[in-house]
Structure 1
Amino acid sequence: MAHHDPGTDDPLSIHGVVPPTVTAFHEDESVDYETTAAHARFVVDRGAHGVFPLGTNGEFPLLTPDEREGVVEAVVEEVGGEVPVIAGVGAASTRETVAHAEHAERVGADGVVVVTPYYYPLDHDAYLDHYERVAAAVDLPVYVYHIPSKTGNSIPLSTLDDLAAIDNLVGLKDSSKDVPWLAQAVDAHPELTFLAGSDSLVFTGLEIGCSGAVSAVANVVPELVVDCYEAYDAGEEERARDLQHTIYGVRDALKTGGAYMSGVKTALRLREFDAGPLRRPLRLKDEESAAEMRERFEDLDVL
């Protein structure tokens, strides 16, 4: 088995590049389900190995429960059956998370991604109870989404050991950027699938045993990140390293003017894909930042 294979317990064998697809909005900030589905199509047609609607890039905390369900339905209807659709279902409460997970299963999602509860601090037993209840509510594979910088909750490795024992909990998307934590988690749990959750760690993640990456850059230029993964997979490490270098450049370009979230939708317009505005208080880049970002994209020659 290759070092970066999916976990032995993962029935979907999630691997490769899984973009956290965007939620498109009309100008009045109502959800544009048709364009949301079209963005999933955009990345799949360009080689994405799966899609993850309602991640951070999908602006999930800004949506109502009904809107979130509509997004999952739209994406499943568009690309379900072609690539795995792993839907973000996490919420601050266990009750709402369970409801979203049950809905995702009902409408045909292949798996669910469950961000750690946020705002209130959690202890070992709270993590365990939360994930046990969500996993028990569905027959789908469950993936933990670990993003301490946004949730305020960082999973101790000892807690992960107990979470891993839950039957259908089969993987973890790690956006902690804590490489020693991730390397130890991967080392301890060959049965779990691990996905690197930062564009700065696509190559490094594969090196330490992740089977793929959830990449915001891949929302804009999926071809680039797919190339990096495929080069690594083919044993062309030097080429994969060079492509990671380009990914760093795109990631920096998306951060022009400081607002990373606005970068993806602003940059998609450079590819003639208009996903509309972000939902306030988030916003697209101002003209100056957008122009600077365009120049950086042109220098990188990725469009």
Structure 2
Amino acid sequence: MTKYDVSRFRNVTVALNTPFTPSGDVDTEAAKRLTRYYIEKGIKSLYVCGSTGEGFLLDSRERMAIVDAVKEEAGDEMTVIVHVGCADTRHSAELAKHAVKAGADATSAVPCVYYHLGEESVYRHWTAITEAADLPFFIYNIPQLTSFHLSMELFNRMLANERVAGVKCSSEPCHDILRFKQAGGEDFIVFNGPDEQYLAGRLMGADAGIGGTYGAMPELYLKLEDLIQRGETQKAQLLQVKVTHFIYRLCSFPSMHGACKTIIRLDGVNIGNPRLPFLPVDEKDAAIIHLYQDIRNAVEEIKGW
């Protein structure tokens, strides 16, 4: 059982896009503006340098700079979870130590990238990260990208570590959320990962959600969570249909990273284009303009719900 108070993690958590300058460097000033943008939207938690944040396309110095900028702007107004996963354990642990220094609220990590590791390797990898930082740690389970399927045996083994506070469950079977929540218990946080099933994940026991498309339409996810908490499941289902339709449209562009960044730019915060190999999306593209307009229309529509 975790030793930490996990109440501050029960939020709609935006997986933050990493801003870049036109020359391709990380843009820390834009990161501060983007953080403020979400504070003003009502978002209370951010997940930094994860899949959406192009974390694996950044070197350690760049990742630390983004974390510093976000935390400097967020202060105590937001909960900041830092993804510290790297291909190797040493650099992951260094990023975890930096997260403490930066004042972050928690760390998180995928099992590994590229190499197909066994459970003992992943156990030692995650354990070393928790030993490097006295912070809540969130397992990041995303087998469709890592090819590592978190077994209940390893999950239960990790639960014995008092710094393990939860899991970001991005595996596609919704019942994984149910299994992890039942095993973890009330004081263990399960984040729904797949954005297109936010409602289903919450109904299956997820305490909150972390997602990459949240950043392009934060008001819709905040309303979705509000409807769930109020028990208005039918309205929540109608809104989930809208959200999922928007997700499909975001995924129709050359890259979802590029599409989300362009939506955010159209809404007033220029965070540049994604880093190659992710492709940009032209803000003059009629399809992205129409999508942005449809999202804003949906935001207006749900205000009275």
State if a TM-score over 0.5 links the two structures: yes
The aligned amino acid for 2:23 is D
Matched, 1:174 2:165: no
**CA shift for structure 1 position 51:** 0.6
Q: Distance in 2 between matches of 1:252 and 1:297?
A: 13
Matched, 1:224 2:216: no
Q: Distance in 1 between matches of 2:46 and 2:238?
A: 25
**CA shift for structure 1 position 159:** 1.0
- SS of the counterpart of 1:104? helix
- SS of the counterpart of 1:58? coil
> Residues 95-137 of structure 1: CA distance to partner in whole angstroms, max 9, x if unpaired?
1110000011011011111122121112121121112211111
Q: Distance in 2 between matches of 1:299 and 1:139?
A: 44
> Residues 216-274 of structure 1: CA distance to partner in whole angstroms, max 9, x if unpaired?
22211211101100110121212221221121122122112352222210211221221
Q: Distance in 2 between matches of 1:83 and 1:204?
A: 26
The corresponding residue for 1:20 is 15
Segments of structure 1 that go 5 or more residues without pairing to the other structure are 1-6
**CA shift for structure 1 position 179:** 1.3
The corresponding residue for 1:240 is 236
Matched, 1:107 2:111: no
Pick aligned residue for 1:146 from 122, 136, 141: 141
- Give the TM-score normalised by structure 1: 0.92
Pick aligned residue for 2:278 from 277, 282, 303: 282
Matched, 1:193 2:189: yes
Q: Verify the 8 A CA contact 1:254 1:267 in the aligned structure 2.
A: no
Q: Verify the 8 A CA contact 2:168 2:193 in the aligned structure 1.
A: yes
List aligned pairs for 1:130-141, cutoff 5 A.
Answer: 130-141=125-136
The aligned amino acid for 2:96 is A
- Give the TM-score normalised by structure 2: 0.92
Q: Distance in 2 between matches of 1:141 and 1:95?
A: 19
Q: Verify the 8 A CA contact 2:190 2:206 in the aligned structure 1.
A: yes
Q: Distance in 2 between matches of 1:39 and 1:12?
A: 25
Q: 1:8 to 1:104 in 2, by over 3 A?
A: closer
> Residues 60-118 of structure 1: CA distance to partner in whole angstroms, max 9, x if unpaired?
11111100000000001011311211111111111111000001101101111112212
Segments of structure 2 that go 5 or more residues without pairing to the other structure are 300-305
The aligned amino acid for 1:230 is D
Q: Distance in 1 between matches of 2:188 and 2:288?
A: 37
**CA shift for structure 1 position 302:** 3.1
Q: 1:101 to 1:73 in 2, by over 3 A?
A: same
Pick aligned residue for 1:255 from 238, 242, 251: 251
The corresponding residue for 1:48 is 43
**CA shift for structure 1 position 45:** 1.6
Q: Distance in 1 between matches of 2:127 and 2:50?
A: 21
> Residues 177-204 of structure 1: CA distance to partner in whole angstroms, max 9, x if unpaired?
2212222122221142000111111101
- Aligned residues, how many? 296
What root-mean-square deviation, in Å, do the aligned CA atoms of Structure 1 and Structure 2 show? 1.7
Percent identity over paired residues: 27
The aligned amino acid for 2:154 is T
The aligned amino acid for 1:40 is T
Q: Verify the 8 A CA contact 1:80 1:109 in the aligned structure 2.
A: no
